[in-house]
Chain A
Amino acid sequence: MAQYLDGIFQALADPTRRAVVGRLGHGPASVGELAAPFDMALPSFMKHIHVLEESGLIRTSKSGRVRICEIDRKQVAAVGGWLDEQRAIWESRTDRLEQFVTQEKDR
């Protein structure tokens, strides 16, 4: 759970990617359309698309020469739970505690 949210958090920790997700919230769009508002070389922009795709937040598919991106609603809904967020906070907190005390033991 925590690991999975980690990828999504990293995906959203960037203004360009947040803007892309925001745009895709209104419906699917091509990479070209998505890239248009940004003053950025296409390869750099594609890196952002890949990060979003790896997080599972968006899906992409090729239609002829055009790559179409869309939001994965199921994935978005999966992280919507408020209590899940709290659980993720406490799970990762417990991970760090566990790591800390087991390292202490080794010293």
Chain B
Amino acid sequence: MTLDPERDLEISRIIKAPRAAVWAAWTRPEQFAKWWIPAPALCRVAEMDLRPGGALTTLMSEDGGAFGPHLSACYLELVEGRKIVFTNALVGGWRPAEQPMMTAIITLDDHDLGTAYRAHVMHKDHADQETHRALGFYDGWGTVAAQLAALVEG
């Protein structure tokens, strides 16, 4: 998979834990909910249907109150213990999503120290950045640049 430097990003890291543990963190809803969204916000996994076409839906609560939308995605490929591909261009059941923006390919390989972890994230294009920001906000980063630009230029 080629990396488009304008639109893609790649995280590559050696994680000192067995591949099975990293796989479980990605595929067990109760585990996934614990790291997917940064504290103090809470994550609830509404759907995690681990098969191509299955939904991955997470909800978020900023303050422990009502849960709102976070990620609505669709799994494209799952290779037990090794690979997860999902996109938010689709929702569960292959239905086209309203605001597609990214496809993520997560690969896990064995490594002497544990797991060679790689996340390759492909984005649609920069015109979508406002959508990204709306979502990214919940991760604590997304609005930073938008706020800054608006403030400083405003």
Contact = CB atoms under 8 A, between A and B. Distances in A.
A79 B151 CA distance: 13
B142 A89 contact: yes
Contacts of A88: 141
B151 A25 contact: yes
B31 interface: yes
B148 A97 contact: no
Interface string A25-42: 100000000000000000
A69 interface: no
Interface of A: 5-6, 8-9, 12, 18, 21-22, 24-25, 57, 71, 73, 76, 79-94, 96-102, 104-105
29 contacts: A8-B148, A12-B147, A21-B151, A25-B151, A71-B152, A73-B152, A79-B145, A80-B148, A81-B145, A82-B129, A83-B123, A85-B136, A86-B123, A88-B141, A89-B141, A90-B119, A92-B139, A92-B141, A94-B11, A94-B119, A96-B35, A97-B22, A97-B26, A98-B117, A99-B35, A100-B31, A101-B24, A101-B25, A104-B31
Given A12-B143, A99-B35, 15 more contacts: A8-B144, A21-B148, A22-B151, A25-B151, A71-B152, A79-B144, A85-B136, A90-B119, A93-B35, A93-B36, A93-B139, A98-B13, A101-B21, A105-B17, A105-B18
